[in-house]
């Protein structure tokens, strides 16, 4: 959604928008970050440069509804719609995080007609690294 | 640090450019990967050397990369050409697979890897007491399952192989998975 910051000199100012539209990417990577409260879907090229992104929050859901699978579905649909007319045919899917959005986003991606090559789970796993926060007992008592 | 990166640069000059390995997964993928390989700029050629430092997560031993590059030099970079990032679970999709079946396959693989359970465990800190409780619960579950299975199979006289052999098999399996990922892909496809 945010425009990439153009790293060009003043001479090339006029040509930036045409350069952006001319990027046809036949193969890309779809990153799905599914946390408990939200789902973010980012579409990048194979090198990792972001093409477009969408999330449950930007699709109009607020609060607890962002974490639902339906929200993940709409976010994925939204993200792919922007990219489909750029001509992306094949994609890999990288799923990160626990959360209800994992399956729903995958389903939406599959239904959108993009061919999938791999589906990978890239949830980051510490080899016993940082100490996580304490158990919040007080939260459930309200 | 600068010296080592310079050395990497130098070595990558010397290494012959590798054609994509002969045992390839289905032709479409090889075509795209080969075009990718050719259009990649020089800077990415550092990737095979550098990516081997940060290894795929779960089960790799530090020996596997050096061993593989000595024994099977042509396959040494096969892994990194296709799988540049560390992942927990990978499911390869063929085109005419049904949506639900794909989802179920993915879910089953994830459950086998225990990703979501692990995430939930690491969300909050677990003191020694809780850890002990959890471990005894898991052990009880495992033992119960094993007893149930063995009581079913006892009629069929299936001897349970000792844990040393089981462990060895598992390590060899993991080793093979590291060294010959292509075989596993082909086997999975078949």
How many C-beta atoms lie closer than 10 Å to residue A94's C-beta? 21
Interface test with B, best of A73, A121, A128 (most B CBs within 10 A): A121
User: pLDDT at position B139, please?
Assistant: 93
Would you state the structure tokens that stand for residue A44, as one six-digit string?
A: 């990048």
Q: Is the pLDDT of residue A13 over 90?
A: no
Rounded Cα–Cα distance for residues B110 and B154 (Å)? 31
Q: Please state the ipTM of this predicted complex.
A: 0.78
Residue B176 has pLDDT above 90, yes or no: no
Task: Give the pLDDT band (50/70/90) at residue A136.
Answer: confident
Query: If you average pLDDT over every residue of chain B, what do you get?
Result: 68
Interface of B with A in 110-129 (CB under 8 A): 110, 113, 115-116, 118-120, 122-126
Contacts of B123 in chain A (CB under 8 A): 132
pTM higher than 0.90 = no
Band of the pLDDT at B135, cuts 50, 70, 90? very high
* CB-based burial label for A127 (10 Å; 0-12, 13-18, 19+): exposed
Instruction: Convert the pLDDT of each residue in B13-26 to its tens digit.
Output: 544 444 444 444 44
pLDDT of B152 > 50? The answer is yes
Q: Is A24 on the interface with B (CB under 8 A)?
A: no
């Amino acid at each position: 959604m945010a425009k990439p910051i153009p790293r060009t000199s003043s001479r090339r100012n006029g040509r930036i928008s045409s350069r952006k539209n001319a990027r046809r990417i036949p193969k890309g990577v779809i990153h799905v970050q599914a946390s408990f409260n939200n789902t973010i879907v980012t579409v990048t090229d194979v090198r990792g440069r972001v093409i477009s992104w969408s999330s449950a929050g930007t699709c109009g859901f607020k609060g607890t509804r962002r974490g639902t699978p339906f929200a993940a579905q709409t976010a994925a649909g939204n993200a792919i719609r922007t990219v489909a007319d750029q001509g992306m045919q094949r994609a890999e899917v990288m799923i990160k995080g626990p959360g209800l959005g994992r399956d729903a986003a995958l389903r939406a991606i599959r239904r959108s007609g993009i061919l999938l090559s791999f589906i990978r789970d890239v949830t980051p796993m510490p080899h016993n690294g940082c100490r996580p926060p304490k158990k919040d007992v007080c939260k459930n008592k309200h | 640090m600068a010296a080592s990166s310079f050395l990497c640069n130098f070595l990558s000059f010397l290494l012959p450019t590798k054609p994509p390995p002969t045992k390839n997964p289905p032709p479409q993928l090889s075509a795209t990967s080969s075009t990718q390989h050719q259009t990649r700029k020089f800077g990415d050629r550092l990737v095979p050397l550098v990516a081997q430092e940060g290894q795929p997560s779960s089960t790799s031993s530090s020996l596997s990369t050096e061993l593989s590059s000595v024994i099977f030099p042509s396959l040494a970079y096969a892994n990194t050409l296709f799988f540049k990032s560390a992942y927990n679970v990978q499911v390869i999709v063929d085109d005419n697979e049904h949506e639900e079946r794909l989802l179920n396959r993915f879910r089953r693989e994830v459950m086998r890897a225990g990703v979501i359970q692990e995430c939930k465990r690491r969300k909050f800190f677990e003191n020694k007491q809780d850890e002990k409780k959890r471990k005894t619960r898991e052990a009880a579950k495992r033992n119960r399952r094993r007893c149930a299975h063995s009581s079913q199979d006892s009629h069929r006289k299936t001897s349970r192989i000792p844990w040393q052999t089981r462990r060895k098999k598992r390590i060899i399996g993991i080793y093979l998975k590291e060294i010959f990922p292509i075989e596993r892909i082909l086997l999975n496809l078949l």
